[in-house]
Chains A and B, each alone.
Chain A
């Protein structure tokens, strides 16, 4: 189910958080409201980690990750890296990469199987992405924009892209990623979807400006109505519980 929330009166939820199927990262805010909203949604299902990256709160735009791994930019400090390694499940590989384009969240859009990358990304980075995240990487543009991470939100079930994407582009991307895509908006007509919302397989969180229409589009494309967290996470729990023993 899609929910609406705000980070310190700002509707760009995707900037201050990163949600995957295995974990969730949130930024450190003045009040605990943001964190509480995530907790109420995700509670015992996946760990919610409060962090900063490179001393900043815009963690959603700086890092890219899925259930297999997390890539952080070179600006991340050692403490933050250590904190992340400690807090996240062991199955998740945290890797710091040296890349000129350091806002990895803007440059990479990924789900658990496939990733779309900024066209100017280094070859090495692409290889690291393929290794760490365990995905197939495609260099693409969305509606002529090279910042793929900003202009689309992906999950394993579906995705939303920039509203000006043409029908042909939509088809092409859809066949590449193998999930249904729709051109839509979030936060009352904002085109920057990646920054406006964050999503995983059973829940989506959007800015509070999101209209009911947009919410219904999100619900339908990401198939959130039938989704039950338990069914998905049960699979993962097996791997998690393994470590306790």
Chain B
């Protein structure tokens, strides 16, 4: 259909006389704006509250919203605070620059509304927000008492060494389990963790139950009580006990437990402690697993611990009579002739599960049952009947090889948790010299056992040079070390911006 071309003519604005295309009001935009103010009745200035500690803004009645200066969150929060904005349509909103310490936020809003006879007018206007500082509840509570904690986890293991805690520390660091702890304190035979929130403490205890066998109880203490609204403020305490059985411990199982595990030889060695305990009978190479609840039902303690390990020299190793692999670890049963270092005249011929690594001339660490004085009636009875072996070897000793590397730094370093030391109990507190020795032994343990390193992050030692290592490697077999591939490079955030990435080629 033929349509005539319609050109819009121009009329004069009825107020100012400037030529303009005709519109519903027949006034130019300026005249219309001067006539009608669509921003009338809208809020132009408003007060908002800001917590300077945590950077949150208050949305009454009680919510605090975290927002950065001049961010989208802040913009939407500001717009939400305006009251009558539903009468007009909001087209655009943006921040106008204000001096950050002026305590004013300016937002320019562009709104559209219908005026007169159907003409839609768009107008922008600034809204000024006065920012008032007001500490939010959690910050004010924290300010009043910075050591305020709501839940605490008291982790204890009633043994004389702190090896488990070193290992646990590395695990916690790797999994970031204690990131929300307000304070960490080291005490005799344990560590205390303090949290600001019961949920955090709960999740931490959950994490612990997955990595070590624990038993815990939870108690609460009333702090304050609001009668009118029946709100009770409590402090929660979790008393967590780690089972006292550690790796390389020698255990004499009580008869009930031994029978329950399928007549496992009453003398067993603990080979691994994770969320359950692995017990190995060194004479039959049978393994059994006990989880936390099973252990705590009987609650037996170890007969001999790693403190009591004695050095033996191996004189002769017979070829292994049986081999088995349990939990990724290989064991071979064989007879060996050994004698204590201190008393080489006395030869013993014993069975050992380390047949696959021991060779003539090696040194090994083991428990001297022949000369031990154990406080256990059952065990004494066994001994009288002559059914106890004279010695049980636990691991190979690398002291000779270590001599070569004495004084040289290791290829790896570990990180530590920010712990407070308990100086208060004088004498019963931790002895720094002893701690160092124990830590050194722990690091040696890590070197010797790859399965221990599985869940731990080890970092490259910056001071360590490759050349030292290769020089020592040329002469014979060196002491076991952590291969370079397993080490993580530390993340360095330097001014140049390039971060040293984590090259983790681990499993």
Residues of chain A whose beta carbon lies under 8 Å from any beta carbon of chain B: 163-170, 183-185, 188-191, 211-214, 216-217
- The interface centre, meaning the residue of A164, A184, A189, A211 with most chain B CB atoms within 10 A of its CB, is A189
Surface stretch bound by A, among B9-17, B57-65, B252-260, B263-271? B9-17
Interface residues of B in 1-29 (CB under 8 A from A): 4-9, 11-17, 22, 25-27
- The interface centre, meaning the residue of B4, B7, B9, B16 with most chain A CB atoms within 10 A of its CB, is B9
Whether A163 pairs with B7 at a CB distance below 8 angstroms is no
Q: Note all chain A residues with C-beta closer than 8 A to B4.
A: 168
Whether B17 pairs with A167 at a CB distance below 8 angstroms is no
In the bound complex, how far is the Cα of B6 from the Cα of A165, in angstroms? 9
In the bound complex, how far is the Cα of B15 from the Cα of A190, in angstroms? 12
Whether B9 pairs with A189 at a CB distance below 8 angstroms is no
In the bound complex, how far is the Cα of B8 from the Cα of A167, in angstroms? 6
Minimum CB–CB distance from B310 to chain A (whole Å) comes to 109
User: Once A and B bind, how many residue pairs between them come within 8 Å at the CB atom?
Assistant: 49
Secondary structure of the B side of the interface? loop
Whether A163 pairs with B6 at a CB distance below 8 angstroms is no
Interface residues of B in 329-378 (CB under 8 A from A): none
Interchain CB contact (< 8 A) of A211 among B5, B15, B22, B25 = B15
Q: Note all chain B residues with C-beta closer than 8 A to A214.
A: 12, 14
Residues of chain B whose beta carbon lies under 8 Å from any beta carbon of chain A: 4-9, 11-17, 22, 25-27, 116
Whether B8 pairs with A188 at a CB distance below 8 angstroms is no
Whether B11 pairs with A183 at a CB distance below 8 angstroms is yes
Whether B11 pairs with A185 at a CB distance below 8 angstroms is yes
Minimum CB–CB distance from A152 to chain B (whole Å) comes to 14
Q: Note all chain A residues with C-beta closer than 8 A to B25.
A: 189
In the bound complex, how far is the Cα of B15 from the Cα of A10, in angstroms? 20
In the bound complex, how far is the Cα of B6 from the Cα of A217, in angstroms? 23
Minimum CB–CB distance from A4 to chain B (whole Å) comes to 13
In the bound complex, how far is the Cα of B116 from the Cα of A191, in angstroms? 13
The answer to whether A213 and B26 touch (CB under 8 A), given A166-B8, A168-B6, is no
Residue of A nearest to B22 (CB): A163
Whether B9 pairs with A170 at a CB distance below 8 angstroms is yes
Q: Note all chain A residues with C-beta closer than 8 A to B16.
A: 213
Q: Note all chain A residues with C-beta closer than 8 A to B116.
A: 189
- The interface centre, meaning the residue of A168, A213, A217 with most chain B CB atoms within 10 A of its CB, is A213
Whether B8 pairs with A184 at a CB distance below 8 angstroms is no
In the bound complex, how far is the Cα of B127 from the Cα of A4, in angstroms? 42
Whether B26 pairs with A217 at a CB distance below 8 angstroms is no
Q: Note all chain B residues with C-beta closer than 8 A to A188.
A: 14-15
Whether B13 pairs with A213 at a CB distance below 8 angstroms is yes
In the bound complex, how far is the Cα of B9 from the Cα of A184, in angstroms? 10
Q: Note all chain A residues with C-beta closer than 8 A to B22.
A: 163-164, 183
Q: Note all chain B residues with C-beta closer than 8 A to A189.
A: 14, 25-27, 116
Whether A213 pairs with B6 at a CB distance below 8 angstroms is no
Whether B11 pairs with A167 at a CB distance below 8 angstroms is no
Minimum CB–CB distance from B321 to chain A (whole Å) comes to 110
Q: Note all chain A residues with C-beta closer than 8 A to B11.
A: 163, 183-185
Q: Note all chain A residues with C-beta closer than 8 A to B13.
A: 213
Residue of B nearest to A209 (CB): B14
Whether B9 pairs with A185 at a CB distance below 8 angstroms is no
Q: Note all chain A residues with C-beta closer than 8 A to B26.
A: 163, 185, 189-191
Whether A166 pairs with B9 at a CB distance below 8 angstroms is yes
Minimum CB–CB distance from A192 to chain B (whole Å) comes to 11
Q: Note all chain A residues with C-beta closer than 8 A to B15.
A: 188, 211, 213
In the bound complex, how far is the Cα of B17 from the Cα of A125, in angstroms? 40
In the bound complex, how far is the Cα of B122 from the Cα of A121, in angstroms? 43
Whether B14 pairs with A213 at a CB distance below 8 angstroms is yes
In the bound complex, how far is the Cα of B27 from the Cα of A184, in angstroms? 11
In the bound complex, how far is the Cα of B31 from the Cα of A214, in angstroms? 14
The answer to whether A166 and B6 touch (CB under 8 A), given A183-B11, A185-B26, is yes
The answer to whether A213 and B8 touch (CB under 8 A), given A189-B26, A189-B27, is no
- The interface centre, meaning the residue of A168, A185, A212 with most chain B CB atoms within 10 A of its CB, is A185
Q: Note all chain B residues with C-beta closer than 8 A to A211.
A: 14-15
Interchain CB contact (< 8 A) of B12 among A164, A166, A217 = A217
Q: List 16 A-B contacts (CB under 8 A).
A: A163-B26, A166-B6, A166-B7, A167-B8, A168-B4, A183-B9, A183-B11, A183-B22, A185-B14, A189-B26, A189-B27, A191-B26, A211-B14, A212-B17, A213-B14, A216-B17
The answer to whether A213 and B17 touch (CB under 8 A), given A163-B22, A189-B26, is yes
Residue of B nearest to A160 (CB): B11
Q: Note all chain B residues with C-beta closer than 8 A to A213.
A: 12-17
In the bound complex, how far is the Cα of B27 from the Cα of A188, in angstroms? 8
Minimum CB–CB distance from B90 to chain A (whole Å) comes to 28
Residue of A nearest to B20 (CB): A163
Whether A168 pairs with B12 at a CB distance below 8 angstroms is no
In the bound complex, how far is the Cα of B11 from the Cα of A163, in angstroms? 6
Residue of B nearest to A216 (CB): B17
The answer to whether A167 and B14 touch (CB under 8 A), given A189-B25, A189-B27, A191-B26, is no
In the bound complex, how far is the Cα of B14 from the Cα of A184, in angstroms? 8
In the bound complex, how far is the Cα of B12 from the Cα of A214, in angstroms? 8
Q: Note all chain B residues with C-beta closer than 8 A to A166.
A: 6-9
Whether B27 pairs with A168 at a CB distance below 8 angstroms is no
Minimum CB–CB distance from A194 to chain B (whole Å) comes to 16
Q: Note all chain A residues with C-beta closer than 8 A to B9.
A: 165-167, 170, 183
Q: Note all chain A residues with C-beta closer than 8 A to B6.
A: 166, 168-169
- The interface centre, meaning the residue of B4, B5, B7, B26 with most chain A CB atoms within 10 A of its CB, is B26
The answer to whether A168 and B7 touch (CB under 8 A), given A191-B26, A213-B12, is yes
Residue of A nearest to B16 (CB): A213
Minimum CB–CB distance from B36 to chain A (whole Å) comes to 12
Q: Note all chain B residues with C-beta closer than 8 A to A191.
A: 26
In the bound complex, how far is the Cα of B13 from the Cα of A88, in angstroms? 39
In the bound complex, how far is the Cα of B26 from the Cα of A214, in angstroms? 11
Minimum CB–CB distance from B94 to chain A (whole Å) comes to 33
Minimum CB–CB distance from A26 to chain B (whole Å) comes to 26
